[in-house]
Amino acid sequence: MSAAPEPSEAADVVVVGAGIMGLAIAYHLARAGVERVVVLDRGYLCGGASGRNGGGVRAQWSSETNVRLMQESLRMCRDFASEMKIHTWFRQGGYLFIVRTEERRRQLEASVAVQNACGLGTRMLSAAEAQGVVPELSTDGIVAASYNADDAVVFPWPFVWGFAQAAKKLGARVHTFTDVVGFHTRGTTITGVKVRAGGVERTIATRKVVNAAGAWSPEIAAMLGVTLPNTPHRHEICSSEPLKPWLKPLVADLTDGLYFSQSTRGEIVGGIGQARVPHGIDQESSFGFLGRYAKSLVRACPILGTVKVLRQWAGCYDITPDANPIVGAVDDIEHFYQASGFMGHGFMMAPIVGKLIAEHVAHETTSPLFDRWNLRRFREGKLLSESMIIG
């Protein structure tokens, strides 16, 4: 933190991170009439988690907040293609959650009750009924399942490109390969963002900054002396050879974190949680993942035993201590807004949460969401919960 030299550019709002969250925020800021919006990313579009995820979009959650947000976000995802004039491969085949313990069944029933109260048509199913939805599913060990036919899967990249193009059309500037390396401040006020691009350092004058750097958000916050409790954890995923279409829903096992769906091109795309993965930025693939994934996948669907994996990759989950994001202004620095900690579901939440954050930043509107998800909850010991986390 230091006094700002002559700025090379000025912005009303600088958004750090051109993943889906930062770009959705930039787009809605521009729509809300903010004239000078600048988005900065140290890499290329889709280089972060937004270009590496499974594209799952669902309204099945355990908290009313998440269910209601995702009902709206699902609608926004469905309409994205026609609004942005970009193909998203939106495929509404539902989500089938399976559980293998009695404790998990009770949690699932409680979640389904919350969803039904919000107007969602989710149904609890027996193992045999789950097999009615996916005939290739083995019922061995399945205690119960839940199914919501409205949940969906998309191809993630067009959402990133769509938001970027639309934001630019409205006047926002998106600078890729531009690393945020520090801030200029006066007391608790931000006066500029220090960036490095092509080996050259310069300053963008601004008073408002949104931290949407995903798994890197704690690094950005630390530049302003703000400590975020998020930690990055590698999450691996892979894609099989294409098969003829047979799998309608995304299947997720809440007991071991397995999930898989079939893309419109026929590939089985899926991953599995790994509880013991050490925290830290790591986007490398491992052989161990393939073994664990294959074992769990074949237990769920034995016919997949001979299918070949064609591609494997990894990205970072941005994990918070209570599995809920960190959103809104911080107490110690003026106009420094957080939009991080979205675990394995920030992609699906970005359309609606990006809009709400943009309105909050542009018009200083308040919303119960920004109290609920504020950073100060960790200091005040007001931790939240969410049991329908995959991976």
Ligand X SMILES: Cc1cc2nc3c(=O)[nH]c(=O)nc-3n(C[C@H](O)[C@H](O)[C@H](O)COP(=O)(O)OP(=O)(O)OC[C@H]3O[C@@H](n4cnc5c(N)ncnc54)[C@H](O)[C@@H]3O)c2cc1C
337 near ligand X, judged by CB under 6 A = no
55 near ligand X, judged by CB under 6 A = yes
- Judged by CB under 6 A, the chain residues 171 through 200 that form the site for ligand X are 179-180
Alpha-carbon distance of 292 to 139, in angstroms, equals 19
Report DSSP state, residue 278: P
Residues 30, 108, 172, 237: which binds ligand X (CB under 6 A)? 237
253 near ligand X, judged by CB under 6 A = no
- Judged by CB under 6 A, the chain residues 128 through 167 that form the site for ligand X are none
What is each CA distance from 372 to 114, 216, 324, 364, 382, in whole angstroms? 18, 22, 9, 16, 9
95 near ligand X, judged by CB under 6 A = no
Q: Token pair for residue 183?
A: 């801030």
Residues 61, 216, 289, 293: which binds ligand X (CB under 6 A)? 216
67 near ligand X, judged by CB under 6 A = no
Q: Which stretch binds ligand X (CB under 6 A): 133-141, 208-216, 287-295, 297-305?
A: 208-216
- The contact mask relative to ligand X for 348-387 (x = CB under 6 A, - = no) is x---------------------------------------
Alpha-carbon distance of 214 to 139, in angstroms, equals 37
Alpha-carbon distance of 108 to 100, in angstroms, equals 11
CB crowding 205-239: b at 16 or more within 10 Å, else e: bbbbbbbbbbbbbbebbebbebebebbbbbbbbbb
Alpha-carbon distance of 55 to 68, in angstroms, equals 19
Residues 28, 36, 42, 91: which binds ligand X (CB under 6 A)? 42
Q: Which stretch binds ligand X (CB under 6 A): 50-58, 99-107, 272-280, 292-300?
A: 50-58
Residues 94, 249, 257, 315: which binds ligand X (CB under 6 A)? 315
Q: Which stretch binds ligand X (CB under 6 A): 63-71, 209-217, 300-308, 370-378?
A: 209-217
Residues 11, 26, 41, 144: which binds ligand X (CB under 6 A)? 41
Closer CB to ligand X, 114 or 352, in the complex: 352
30 near ligand X, judged by CB under 6 A = no
**Least distance in angstroms from the C-beta of 340 to ligand X:** 6
Of 367, 371, 336, 331, the C-alpha closest to 352 is: 367
Residues 4, 13, 18, 38: which binds ligand X (CB under 6 A)? 18
Judged on CB neighbours under 10 Å (0-12, 13-18, 19+), 102 is exposed
Reading phi first (left if > 0) and then psi (alpha if -120 to 50, else beta), residue 140 is in: beta
56-57 and 37-40: which strand pairing? unpaired
CB–CB of 162/86 below 8 Å? yes
206 near ligand X, judged by CB under 6 A = no
